[in-house]
Amino acid sequence: MAVFRVHKTKNYTLMSNHHLRDKNLSLKAKGLLSVMFSLPDSWNYSIPGLCAILKENETAVKSTIKELK
C-alpha cells in the first residue's frame, strides 16, 4: 500500500505514535486520546464538552477516560 505524505501548514495534528501502538488501550481510548490531542491548547476539557464534539454519551466518555488513567 502506498503512503502519501502532504506538507500541511494548518488544520492538522502532529502526535506521537506511542498511544496508537499501545496494546493495552482499546480502539475507543486511542481515538478519544487522539481527538483530545487535536484540540487547541486553549480548549476547556470537560465531559459535556467532549460529548458535544463526539458521537458518545457521558457514560461512554467517562469510562474511556477512566481507561486512559
Query: For the chain, what are the domain ranges?
Result: 25-68
**DSSP state, residue 17:** S
2-11 residue pLDDT tens: 887 877 778 8
Please provide the DSSP assignment of 49-61 as one string. Answer: HHHHHSS--HHHH
**Rounded-to-integer distance, Cα 55 and Cα 69, Å:** 21
23-58 residue pLDDT tens: 999 999 999 999 999 999 999 999 999 999 999 999
68 neighbors 60 (Cβ within 8 angstroms)? no
pTM reported for the whole predicted model: 0.81
**Confidence at 14, pLDDT banded by 50, 70, 90:** confident
Tell me how far CA of residue 5 lies from CA of 16, 25, 43, in angstroms.
16, 27, 28
Question: Of 65, 52, 14, whose CA–CA distance to 43 is shortest?
Answer: 52
Bigger pLDDT: 12 or 48?
48
